[in-house]
Structure 1
């Protein structure tokens, strides 16, 4: 039975730009930096200024596509071990979100958990979220941080390979072309 939140109905967005942003945050995290340096902030500001009227929506859809792809990979990895991806990934990620109150205000955690659950059950996170109205400005940083946490979780599962999640996506994009 088809769902209105079926990934086939979802725009992929600018996955490359979203991956660049997530990879940049991961590198900062692994280098021990908790905040962006001036060079990185300048690059982000220049990138934001270069986006056209639909660029931000494309980036937003791209981030949701990354969450879907990461959760799909996790689902396949869990199923090969007779585990449930929701039971495996969501509690750990939500616990981490709760430890980051400046990034994840309590009211956005259920939305971010819902995105993970939607993706973990094979639904499009952006179409699932669209049911509840437009994205809010308070959800933007948590959305990016959710994708970063998910990528970091995958990197840790891959034996602390800091580039595994990024390679996973770039290889999938390369094979899709």
Structure 2
């Protein structure tokens, strides 16, 4: 019996916009910018305004797709080492989220860790989350931070600052051409 949270039933969302947001944040951090500067906030505000409610939902689904794909890659990489991705990745990311109290409220961390576990076990993060209602405004920063931290974790693991973004771009390019 398949789960109602099986990824094949999940909308992919706007992965391109989600990846652009994560990638621009990663590049900003590498360039020495920390936090969300006024220019980044303006860009996100413009994007949100241009997308409308349906577009924002698509970016949320796209971010969940990124999280799923990142966790799938991490699961395979850890299994190659006979390690459990939940044991090694989730505590690391939870600790990182806890170190950002200005933008990550403590009550959102259990949701983000459960989202990671859902993805690590092959469930769609967006369908898993939908069981509990709509996303709250307070979950937007933690969701973006979770995707960002996963991408940075992969980049550090591979010693390649663009690996995570390139992996997603390559996967979607291969899907479109194949």
User: Structure 1 length as normaliser, TM-score?
Assistant: 0.96
* Equivalent in the alignment of 1:53: 53
The within-5 A match list for 1:34-53 is 34-53=34-53
**Whole-angstrom distance in 2 between the partners of 1:39 and 1:92:** 29
* Equivalent in the alignment of 1:78: 78
| Structure 2: runs of 5+ lacking an equivalent | none
Deviates more, 1:129-138 or 1:28-37: 28-37
1:174 aligns with 2:173: yes
Indicate conservation of the 8 Å contact 1:17/1:62, yes or no: yes
**Whole-angstrom distance in 2 between the partners of 1:157 and 1:57:** 30
1:45 CA drift (Å): 2.4
1:68 aligns with 2:68: yes
Indicate conservation of the 8 Å contact 1:28/1:36, yes or no: no
* Equivalent in the alignment of 1:109: 109
Give the ranges of 4+ consecutive aligned residues of structure 1 lying more than 6 Å apart after TM superposition: none
Aligned residues: 176
Deviates more, 1:7-16 or 1:97-106: 97-106
1:102 CA drift (Å): 1.4
**Whole-angstrom distance in 2 between the partners of 1:53 and 1:97:** 27
The within-5 A match list for 1:1-177 is 1-159=1-159, 161-177=160-176
**Whole-angstrom distance in 1 between the partners of 2:119 and 2:76:** 12
User: Structure 2 length as normaliser, TM-score?
Assistant: 0.95
Per-residue CA distance 1:66-86 (angstroms, 9 max, x = gap): 000000000110111111110
Task: Choose between structure 1 and 2: higher helix proportion.
Answer: 2
**Whole-angstrom distance in 2 between the partners of 1:134 and 1:36:** 25
| Structure 1: runs of 5+ lacking an equivalent | none
